[in-house]
Amino acid sequence: MLITLKEAANRLKAADKILITAHVQPDGDAIGSTLAAMLMLRSIGKTAQIYVDDIARKNLQALPHFEEIRRPKDGEKFDADLLLVLDTSTDRIGNVRKLTDAPILNIDHHVTNKGGDGDLYLEPAAAATCEIVFKLADELDAPITPDVATCLYTGLATDTGFFQFSNTRAETLFAASELIRCGVSPNFISEELERKSLAEVMGLRAALNSLKMYYGDKVAVMTIDHATAKTFDSTEGFIDEIRVIDTVDVAFLITEKAPNFCRVSMRSKGVDVSKIAAKLGGGGHLRAAGCTLKTTLAEAERLLVAAIGEAL
């Protein structure tokens, strides 16, 4: 059921023990929004704990309280009276759902989120879920401490390409400005997130060497096989290296995380890639989306090229 932000805040106020989660393959917005929500809820007297069924990239470990994020174990249970799902639909939280039977409150900004489990506050115009959580703080009467502000700013910065993407709006920049007033150091966040290991740089080289062009150079694709992918933990920023090609409308990166298990990231200048991702079991935004394909690297590329060809 779709609800208002005030109603979402009331659900949180009525709960005592809140389990917080986000999507697998968590990005800056997923980690930033969950950490900020946990700190805000604790500040108003709630018991709040984050579980994410995946490993976040090392760059995000500099965020305050990152070490408190847990990953669910087989057979584990968590005594909660509310499950707060942030930055995703409820079908992308992996084994976290097995931790509790508590009712769900879902807060998200992805247009592909159709709801279905519990209450949903959806704001597709928001640049990031962290932009929504920033407003939620006021509804909860929760203070935005420097730690909370740092987590929220990280989500805003990463989901907008450091305020360069088309989803950046006046409200986004207002939120960022207020968060800086609350104690954020933008240079600290940018320096941490831009760091890459030597293995990642070598991985980028391998990805660029795999570059293929389709449909009159309107589509660019890079692939990373499992042997290369297992040498580093993040492909963040890789796709931006080919998105900027002047003829390219759609760029996508396929990373073979394990045999017959490929993760796909897509970027677009015009085509609605969220629809393409949704058809393949994923989701996202108009210009940035992704999915997971349980198939070989070659077959994943074939499927993506065909789907994008239809969209073009």
**42-93 residue pLDDT tens:** 999 999 999 999 989 888 999 999 999 999 999 999 999 999 999 999 999 9
How far from the centroid of its chain's Cα atoms is residue 201's Cα? 22
| Cβ atoms within 10 Å, residue 304 | 25
How far from the centroid of its chain's Cα atoms is residue 9's Cα? 22
Backbone region of residue 184 per phi and psi (left: phi > 0; alpha: psi in -120 to 50; beta: other values): beta
Helix (H, G, I), strand (E, B) or coil at 71: coil
Task: For residue 241, give the H/E element and its range.
Answer: helix 240-243
Q: What is the pLDDT of residues 219-242, one digit of tens each?
A: 999 999 999 999 988 898 899 999
Q: Judge contact between 220 and 247, C-beta under 8 A.
A: no
Which residue reads 């709801």 in tokens? 115
Q: What is the pLDDT of residues 182-231, one digit of tens each?
A: 999 999 999 999 888 899 999 999 999 999 999 999 999 999 999 999 99
List the one residue out of 179, 156, 178 whose CA is nearest residue 167: 156
List the one residue out of 307, 308, 286, 279 whose CA is nearest residue 110: 286
